[in-house]
Amino acid sequence: MRLDLPVFTLIAVATLAGAADRPLPKPNDPDDFVRYIFEVNDCVLTEAQLLEIYSAAGYGLMGANNAVIAVSNREDIEVLRRNPFTYRYYGSEYCGF
Between 15 and 25, the more confident residue is 25
Q: What angle do CA 10, 16, 18 make, to 5 degrees?
A: 100
For the chain, how far is it from start to end, CA to CA, in angstroms? Answer: 29
**54 confidence band (pLDDT: 50, 70, 90):** very high
Q: What is the mean pLDDT of the chain?
A: 85
> Between these two residues, 11 and 42, which has the higher pLDDT value?
42
Q: What is the pTM of this model?
A: 0.79
Element spanning 69, H or E: helix 60-72
87 strand-pairing partners: 45, 79
Phi, psi of 85 (to 5 degrees): -60, 125
Across residues 60-88, what is the average pLDDT?
96
